Structure formats: C-alpha cells, structure tokens
Amino acid sequence: MSRPGPTDAAAGRAPRALGAKGEATRQRLLAAAEEIFSVRGYHTASISDITREAGVAQGTFYLYFDSKLAVFQAVVRGISHQLRRATTEAIQAVSDRREAERRGIEAFFQFLQERPNIYRVLREAEFVDPELFQWYYSHMAEGYQRRLAEAQALGQVRQADPEVLAWCLMGISHMLGLRYVVWDGGGADLAHVMQTAMDFLNAGINPEPGRGGDPTR
C-alpha cells in the first residue's frame, strides 16, 4: 500500500543555519502556530495571530517562514519528528516486541497529554495539504512496519502482512488516545486502558477457554 510522498515544501528542506537565539525564536513561532491552528483553524488563523502568540514582530516571521502554509507544514513535520523520537526513545532498550508495544503506547499517551492539540492540527492538514496528511501517517507506518518485520523474524509476532499490522496497531493507538487522553482531559484510568489494550493485542478477540465460543478459532 504505497502512498505519495509530500511535495518538496511539505517534506521540508534543510533550514538555514540558525544560532541558538534564532532557533529559539523559530521554536516559539512553531509552538505559537500549533496553538493558533488548533484553536482557530488554518483558514481563520493569520500570521499576525501567530506572531502575537509568539511575542515577536510580524516581520520576524518572514525570516523563518515564507508563508502561513510553510509554517503549517513545518508544524505537522515537527509533530511527526517529535512523536517518532519520543516513541523510539521509549522502546530502544526493549528486546521483546510486546513490551515495546506497551511502552510505545504509553509514550504516545504521554505525548498527547503534553500536546493535546495535535489531533486538531492533523485534521486541518487533511484539507489544507492532503499530500502532507498522508505522508504523516505513511511515514510513521513505514518505521512501524520495519520493526514488526524484525520482530516476526525473531518469532515474537505472528506471521502476517507487517504493513497491515502496522496500520492496525496505529489505528488502535490513535483512537485510544483520542478517546481516553484528549476527550477525557486526563480523567481516564490509563493503566486500565493500557492493560485492556495489551490483553487485546496479545490475545486478540478470541474468547478465553471455558467462557463460551470456540477458543480454537
């Protein structure tokens, strides 16, 4: 299942070299843009809204980004990079794939608790830049698929199409995060959610032996 890659702008070209102060300003603009886009939506948001939120002059914006679309694309790419880094760091010392799944979901929940606005930004991306929207999920799935295939070779994951498995597992994490982290606003029992999710991942939907149904199916 191949997906088109993003345009050059959406894929992100290497930014010009920035000093510590310049990079700090760029990060303030990105954080402000993420907040403004999530609250006001892409089409209603303005560059002046972003610079006001970031606490910089409007002319400063153009030292870092060419347009509102450019900063929006940079926000989406940044979310992708930061989320993948957070989950990779969470599982890098783990050799068992099942434990890696648990830690990866926990890292995703933690990321959402700190950045609950990302779902809104990604929903905007679906309409603002559909190619970038598809890239966001496809790029994540590629790494996931690779790790699952490695675990299959070690006998830790059932033999099935790793690409399909990757999208299934991403879908589970995505919907659990939306329901129990974003919608509940921190009120959910995430330990219970995690245990239920891991029981499902480890055993599927087959009934337990002795509880009805055909446990061999």
Domain with CATH 1.10.357.10 in the chain: 68-203
pTM attached to this predicted model: 0.85
The pLDDT tens digits for 167-199 are: 999 999 999 999 999 998 878 899 999 999 999
Q: C-alpha dihedral over 186, 188, 190, 193, to 10 degrees?
A: -150
Handedness of CA 81, 84, 89, 95 (dihedral sign): negative
Judged against a pLDDT cut of 90, whether residue 212 lies above it is answered with: no
Domain with CATH 1.10.10.60 in the chain: 20-65
135 vs 69: CA distance, rounded Å: 16
Judged against a pLDDT cut of 60, whether residue 19 lies above it is answered with: yes
- With beta carbons less than 8 A apart as the criterion, state whether 32 and 18 touch: no
90 vs 47: CA distance, rounded Å: 35
Strand, helix or coil for residue 213: coil
The pLDDT tens digits for 90-141 are: 999 889 999 999 999 999 999 999 999 999 999 999 999 999 999 999 999 9
Q: C-alpha dihedral over 138, 139, 140, 144, to 10 degrees?
A: 90
Residue 61 backbone phi and psi in degrees, to 5: -55, -45
110 vs 177: CA distance, rounded Å: 10
pLDDT of residue 185: 80
- With beta carbons less than 8 A apart as the criterion, state whether 133 and 103 touch: no
The pLDDT tens digits for 36-69 are: 999 999 999 999 999 999 999 999 999 999 999 9
**Residue 169 structure tokens:** 């597992």
- With beta carbons less than 8 A apart as the criterion, state whether 79 and 118 touch: yes
* Helical spans, DSSP H, in 92-182: 97-114, 118-128, 130-153, 162-176
From the list 48, 11, 46, 31, the residue with the least C-alpha distance to 129 is: 11
Class level of CATH domain 20-65: mainly alpha
Q: For the purposes of burial, counting CB atoms within 10 Å of the CB of 209, is it exposed (0-12), middle (13-18) or buried (19 or more)? A: exposed
* Of the options 1.10.357.10, 3.30.750.80, 3.40.50.460, 1.10.3660.10, the CATH number for the domain spanning 68-203: 1.10.357.10
Q: What mean pLDDT is predicted for residues 6-29? A: 67
